[in-house]
Amino acid sequence: MSERNASSSGTPGAGGTGGVGGFRDRLLGRVKLSGWLALAAPLLAVLFAALITSVVLLIAGSSPLDAFDALAQYGTQPRTMAVILNSATMYYISALAVAIGFRMNLFNIGVDGQYRLAAVVAAGVGGAALLPGVLNILLVLVVAVLVGALWAGIAGLLKVKRGVSEVIATIMLNAIATGLASWLMSNHFGVLNGNELATRPIPADSQMPGMALISGTPQLVNGFLVVAIILGIAYYVLLNRTRFGFELRATGMSEPAAVASGIGVKRMIVTTMVLSGAVAGLAGMPELLGESHKYSNNFPSGLGFDGIAIALLGRNNPVGMALGALLWSFLSNSSNSLQMLNISKETADIMKGVTVLSVIIAYELVHRYRIVAEQRRAGQETAAAPAAEGAAA
Amino acid sequence: MRQRPRFPGPHAYDLVCHRPPRYSSRRGPAISTATVTAPAVELTGITKRFPGVVANRDIQLRVTKGQIHAIVGENGAGKSTLMKILYGMQRPDEGEIRVEGKPVAFHTPADAIAAGIGMVHQHFMLADNLTVLENVILGSEPRRAGVAVDFRAARRKIKEISDAYGLGIRPDVPVEELGVGDRQRVEILKVLYRGARILILDEPTAVLVPHEVDELFENLRGLVREGLTILFISHKLDEVLRVADAITVIRRGTTVASVDPKDMTARRLAELMVGSELPSPETRESTVTDTVVLSVRDLTVGGVDGRAIVEGVGFDIHKGEVLGIAGVEGNGQAELVEALMGIRPCTTGSLMLDGKDISGWSTLKRREGGIGYIPEDRHRHGLLLEAPLWENRILGHQTRRPNVKGPWIDRSGARADTRRIAEDYDVRTPGIDTAAAALSGGNQQKLIVGREMSGDPVLLIASHPTRGVDVGAQAAIWDHLRNARANGLAVLLISADLDELIGLSDSLKVILRGRIVADVDPANVTPEQLGSAMTGAGEAAAQ
């Protein structure tokens, strides 16, 4: 009576354990952990990451305790705290963009191309100062959102109309975005200043003001922190409290069930890609409006890929991703302090990678533990009460 | 050891003369010598549980060496789980597996292969762009000097196997140039190449046209003649009776009978498969009215290859009427339902719901227009397994009260209504925040029935509404269907359970190869008569 019960319980490739959902569902946080297990997973991950990093440091011939001490000292200085917050803001927005796709089983690898192309065009428009003051900020934001959305929308349309995997399409669009961005820079928006090709800076009255949040340092916290927090709340509300969010999650959990329920899956794919791209377009804005005020070769790169890692770290949960973004930003910024201990700064990259892997492994272990425990319980219960099943045959 | 001598004297004409007369005369010597041989495979007391369900319970199976042993049962009866256990893809919770007398414990399919058990999957697992040879050796390439692939040795071995069993395989042809029957032979050869002496064939005829089925059976007989053992899984009874030397019937997860095909008819086998001790779904006092709720005319659904899967189907369902569709699975029922729900493209014909033409409507609009839907596969189409019950209450009703207010999800409304459904429909659950996957099949189905009834439907499409649920839930679901019918609901009932169909339906139609071939009066039909009408044999009798 139940071969279908067992085999259809997960996405394809769920393996044969008969548990709920496949590895991918668990990886993307579509299966929730409850009770003490929800706490056990991240704790396990931190311990595991610290352990591996210690081993790596020992192999490299440095003392793990000294390294962790240096990191702790670095992280508690007022100035670095402000710097960490500022880069975390960008990471967080990028992670949100990735997570929107993840919740629907769409892998938007193209956040990287989307934010860079959006930043170039927005920087060009902003530098032209078509509107005065705050209106210019709004214009820049609208342009960035539109460019990101359009660029991601191409991948969505290709998937719906031609069945092109969004993974392939967005990766290739990343490459095209790189070319398009340099063409735009050299032929339209760029101004050669000495050796540096950059867009015209955004006028001072249209720059995002910083906030003196952290005392003891002149380093201001980027005003975009507020925008990032609002986006995080909006992400939660949209996914969990609206019909659209329900349809998005339902499609992510089971496309056949969504189809049978009258959800227009194709429309959802395009809408979700566009939404993901729109948020991606904002990822470069803290830098553009709050820090450098122009797009140049020094503009942060690879934010989109950081976003993927952080979305995985935070299991697509808005609070989890915020913590993940802070941790990521801390590790990225702390590499210099490691160099002072003669530890190569690439160690910080190893730590980042190890952390992501530990989180994935820890959650998977905890999930598997839960499945086995559940199966054992179900086994005991059904064995204790075979009467109901047995009556039939 | 061979049960069947290669050239059995009295039956020598079998090898010369082809087609019909052979299978009737073939069985004699096989069965008579069967008792003296040790079983190739013996399963005792195999039980496999998944959360909330027992997939297999106390399975007893004895497969004699050198025979074609068929395992029959309805979809969902537990055949596949059993085969996965035997092939090492699942581990049993209880029970013992013996292969050629020795107890074994398989952890992976590799263990099963090492013990001489091979599986030919229903869906071929071949790389199209590689040759037959390359496909066969893929994963177990013979090596020369440790590195290079020894194609010559492989080709020789493939030729040997192919000749020995009369498979007629050409090793150097790319697989993409082969037809379905040839591909299946390649799959069989792949398994033999890895040294299998016991072959499991999972629904091998599902993808074949009749003459390919004949060829396959020819090959299978060749294999058993050489002393191999074949486990043949199917729900096509006529084929099973043609080819099998022994039959084991599985129903509701357990083996209910081991029979000799010689003393079996398709009808009796069907009875064993479906069972007859279920509570009666009887409804006799008619509530049928004159008001037509759903009117279907000339409905045709095209398949991928342009051939029609459903062709020219037409019927009316009235208020208070249950219309049953009987048919052997795979004759277009699923596609018919999907066409009615607006899920399936390539559909032509007219659909009128309450006098409105709905053929251009989306699935959502049809649902909002008053069609309730109990899908055939509740896990794939009816539930979000990882989501809590109250979110599953919203599924399919995500535009309507009490689930939403405008664009917002109405959490308290949906949650309160989920509690009501759990109460009214006796969904046994720790709470409405429990994930749907944690419930047993029967409770999941009661939740779906409750949800679909809550949308005030005028028409309910119920596909196998009590499949895979326990007897208690089955009786409860039947009660709900009867009550709704008495309140004027029109129901389209598709089921493989003939007692359910006859008991619940006010009128019955038989579908065969996508066409309605007979109208049957449920008041004067026995499951046997209906069963033969479904296979096309008793068309005249039923009409």
- Express each pLDDT in B214-223 by its tens digit: 888 888 888 8
Q: Are A102 and A311 in contact (CB under 8 A)?
A: yes
- What was the pLDDT predicted at A280? 94
List the single residue in A with minimal CA-CA distance to B406.
A243
Contacts of A19 in chain B (CB under 8 A): 51
Q: Determine, for residues B54 and A2 on separate chains, whether the beta-carbon distance falls below 8 Å.
A: yes
Q: Determine, for residues A257 and B395 on separate chains, whether the beta-carbon distance falls below 8 Å.
A: yes
DSSP state of A202: P
- Report the C-alpha gap between A285 and B408 in whole angstroms: 30
pLDDT band (50, 70, 90) for residue B147: confident
Q: Are B226 and B165 in contact (CB under 8 A)?
A: yes
CA atoms within 13 A on the CB side of A108: 41
A380 touches B at CB < 8 Å: no
- Report the C-alpha gap between A301 and A291 in whole angstroms: 15
- Express each pLDDT in B159-193 by its tens digit: 888 888 888 888 888 888 887 778 888 888 888 88
A contact residues 338-367, partner B, Cβ 8 Å cutoff: none
ipTM above 0.90?
Answer: no
A372 occurs within a structural domain: no
Contacts of B365 in chain A (CB under 8 A): 262
Contacts of B78 in chain A (CB under 8 A): 1-3
Fill in the amino acid letter for B367.
R
What is the b/e burial string over B342-380, where b = at least 16 CB atoms within 10 angstroms of the residue's CB?
bbbeebebebbbbeeebbebebbebbeebbbbbbbbbbb
Q: Nearest-CA distance from A389 to chain B in Å?
A: 6
- What was the pLDDT predicted at A158? 93
- What was the pLDDT predicted at A195? 80
List the single residue in A with minimal CA-CA distance to B83.
A3
A157 occurs within a structural domain: yes
- What was the pLDDT predicted at A207? 83
CA atoms within 13 A on the CB side of A69: 7
A373 occurs within a structural domain: no
- What was the pLDDT predicted at B56? 83
Neighbours of B531 (CB within 10 A): 24
Q: Are A140 and A121 in contact (CB under 8 A)?
A: no
Contacts of B93 in chain A (CB under 8 A): 379
Q: Are A258 and B422 in contact (CB under 8 A)?
A: no
- Express each pLDDT in B467-508 by its tens digit: 777 666 777 888 888 888 888 889 999 987 787 888 888 889
Neighbours of A215 (CB within 10 A): 6
Q: Determine, for residues A243 and B399 on separate chains, whether the beta-carbon distance falls below 8 Å.
A: yes
Residue with tokens 């801390």: A330
With both helix axes pointing from N to C terminus, report the angle between B151-164 and B180-193 in degrees, rounded to the nearest 10.
110
Identical fold for domains B1-116+197-204+227-275 and B276-370+458-543, yes or no, is yes
Identify any residues that bridge with A197 across adjacent strands, giving them in sequence order: A192
Q: Determine, for residues A250 and B398 on separate chains, whether the beta-carbon distance falls below 8 Å.
A: yes
A75 occurs within a structural domain: yes
Q: What angle do CA B150, B154, B157 make, to 5 degrees?
A: 145
- Report the C-alpha gap between B284 and A304 in whole angstroms: 66
Strand (E) or helix (H) holding B163: helix B151-164
Residue with tokens 């496999």: B48
CATH hierarchy code of domain B1-116+197-204+227-275: 3.40.50.300
Nearest to B466 by CA among B475, B453, B457, B456: B475
| Sheet hosting strand B68-72, strand order edge to edge | B117-120, B198-202, B229-234, B68-72, B246-251, B254-259
DSSP labels, A129-168: T-S-HHHHHHHHHHHHHHHHHHHHHHHHHHHHHH---HHH
Q: Strand ranges (DSSP E) for B260-403?
A: 292-302, 308-318, 322-326, 347-353, 356-357, 371-374
Helix (H, G, I), strand (E, B) or coil at B381: helix
Fold of B276-370+458-543: Rossmann fold (3.40.50)
Contacts of B381 in chain A (CB under 8 A): 256-257, 259-260
Question: Choosing among A2, A267, A389, which should be mutated to test the B contact, i.e. which has the most B CBs within 10 A?
Answer: A2
Torsion sign (Cα): B64, B70, B74, B76: positive
- What was the pLDDT predicted at A112? 93
pLDDT band (50, 70, 90) for residue B284: low
Fill in the amino acid letter for A196.
E
- Report the C-alpha gap between B256 and B464 in whole angstroms: 22
- Report the C-alpha gap between B246 and B30 in whole angstroms: 10
Q: Tokens for B397, please give them.
A: 């009703």
- What was the pLDDT predicted at A2? 36
- What was the pLDDT predicted at A126? 87
Given a cut of 50, whether residue B7 has pLDDT beyond it is: no
- Express each pLDDT in B22-72 by its tens digit: 333 344 344 434 444 578 888 888 888 765 566 788 888 888 888 899 998
Q: Nearest-CA distance from A231 to chain B in Å?
A: 18
- What was the pLDDT predicted at B470? 66
Q: Strand ranges (DSSP E) for B185-307?
A: 198-202, 229-234, 246-251, 254-259, 292-302
Question: Please, where are the H alpha helices in A207-345?
Answer: 224-241, 243-253, 255-260, 265-282, 285-290, 303-313, 318-333, 335-339
Q: Mean pLDDT across the stretch B99-121? A: 87
Q: Mean pLDDT across the stretch B110-124? A: 84
Helix (H, G, I), strand (E, B) or coil at B448: helix
Q: Determine, for residues B394 and A393 on separate chains, whether the beta-carbon distance falls below 8 Å.
A: no
- What was the pLDDT predicted at B255? 86
- What was the pLDDT predicted at B281? 56
Contacts of B386 in chain A (CB under 8 A): 20-21, 25, 30-32, 253
- What was the pLDDT predicted at A228? 93
Q: Are B358 and B369 in contact (CB under 8 A)?
A: yes
Say which of B377, B435, B471 has its CB closest to residue A20. Answer: B435
DSSP labels, A311-379: HHHTTT-HHHHHHHHHHHHHHHHTHHHHHTTT--THHHHHHHHHHHHHHHHHHHHHHHHHHHHHHHHHH
Strand (E) or helix (H) holding B494: strand B490-494
Given a cut of 80, whether residue B145 has pLDDT beyond it is: no
pLDDT in tens, chain A (393 residues): 333 333 333 333 333 333 345 677 777 666 666 667 777 777 888 888 888 889 988 888 888 888 888 888 888 888 888 889 999 999 999 999 999 999 998 999 999 999 999 999 999 898 887 888 889 889 999 999 999 999 999 999 999 998 889 999 999 999 999 999 999 988 888 788 778 888 888 888 888 888 888 777 788 888 889 999 999 999 999 999 999 999 999 998 888 899 999 998 999 999 999 999 999 999 999 988 888 888 888 888 889 999 999 998 888 889 989 999 998 998 888 877 788 788 887 888 888 888 888 888 888 888 777 767 766 665 555 454 443 333 333
DSSP state of B379: I
- Report the C-alpha gap between A218 and A229 in whole angstroms: 23
Tell me whether the omega of the peptide bond preceding residue B402 falls within 30 degrees of 0, making it cis. Answer: yes
Q: Determine, for residues A254 and B407 on separate chains, whether the beta-carbon distance falls below 8 Å.
A: no
- What was the pLDDT predicted at B471? 63
A218 touches B at CB < 8 Å: no
A contact residues 255-294, partner B, Cβ 8 Å cutoff: 256-257, 259-264
Q: Determine, for residues B49 and A263 on separate chains, whether the beta-carbon distance falls below 8 Å.
A: no
Contacts of B379 in chain A (CB under 8 A): 4-5, 8-9
Q: What spatial distance separates the first Cα and last Cα of chain A, rounded to whole Å?
A: 11
Higher pLDDT, B23 or B320: B320
Q: What backbone torsions phi and psi does residue B26 show, to the nearest 5 degrees? A: -70, -30
A240 touches B at CB < 8 Å: yes
Question: Choosing among B46, B47, B48, B53, which should be mutated to test the A contact, i.e. which has the most A CBs within 10 A?
Answer: B53
* Structural domains of chain A, count: 1
Label each residue of B32-100 as H, E or C: HHHCCCCEEEEEEEEEEEECCEEEEEEEEEEEECCCEEEEECCCCCCHHHHHHHHCCCCCCCEEEEEEC
β-pairing verdict for B408-409 and B404-405: antiparallel
Helix (H, G, I), strand (E, B) or coil at A109: coil
- Report the C-alpha gap between A253 and A6 in whole angstroms: 17
Residue B395, CA distances (Å) to A6, A258, B142, B373, B384 in order: 22, 8, 53, 11, 8
With both helix axes pointing from N to C terminus, report the angle between A243-253 and A224-241 in degrees, rounded to the nearest 10.
70
Neighbours of B13 (CB within 10 A): 10
Average pLDDT, chain B: 80
Boundaries of every domain in chain B: 1-116+197-204+227-275, 122-195, 276-370+458-543, 377-456
Write out the residue range of the structural domain in which residue A65 sits.
Answer: 24-366
Q: What backbone torsions phi and psi does residue B313 show, to the nearest 5 degrees? A: -85, 135
DSSP labels, B321-341: -EEEEE--TTSSHHHHHHHHH
DSSP state of A303: H
CA atoms within 13 A on the CB side of B68: 27
A106 occurs within a structural domain: yes
Q: Determine, for residues A242 and B81 on separate chains, whether the beta-carbon distance falls below 8 Å.
A: no
Classify B513 in phi/psi space as left (phi over 0), alpha (psi -120 to 50) or beta: left
CATH code at position A75: 1.10.3470
- What was the pLDDT predicted at B514? 85
- What was the pLDDT predicted at A148? 94
DSSP labels, B6-42: SS-GGGTHHHHS-STTHHHHHHHHHHHHHTTSPEEEE
- Report the C-alpha gap between A163 and B56 in whole angstroms: 39
Q: Tokens for B381, please give them.
A: 């189409």
Question: Choosing among B46, B47, B48, B54, which should be mutated to test the A contact, i.e. which has the most A CBs within 10 A?
Answer: B54
Say which of B75, B382, B385 has its CB closest to residue A20. Answer: B385
**How far does CA B110 lie from the centroid of its chain?**
26
Share of chain B above pLDDT 70, in %: 85
Q: Determine, for residues A261 and B395 on separate chains, whether the beta-carbon distance falls below 8 Å.
A: yes
Q: What backbone torsions phi and psi does residue B314 show, to the nearest 5 degrees? A: -145, 140
Q: Mean pLDDT across the stretch B390-417? A: 89
Residue A339, CA distances (Å) to A77, A152, A350, B39 in order: 17, 39, 14, 71
What is the b/e burial string over B489-516, where b = at least 16 CB atoms within 10 angstroms of the residue's CB?
bbbbbbbbbbbbbbbbbbbbbbbbebbb
Helix (H, G, I), strand (E, B) or coil at B227: coil
Residues B43-46: contacts with CB under 8 Å, at least 24 apart: B43/B82, B43/B86, B43/B95, B43/B96, B43/B97, B43/B98, B44/B95, B44/B96, B44/B98, B45/B94, B45/B95, B45/B96, B46/B82, B46/B85, B46/B92, B46/B94, B46/B95, B46/B96, B46/B97
Q: Mean pLDDT across the stretch B361-367? A: 90
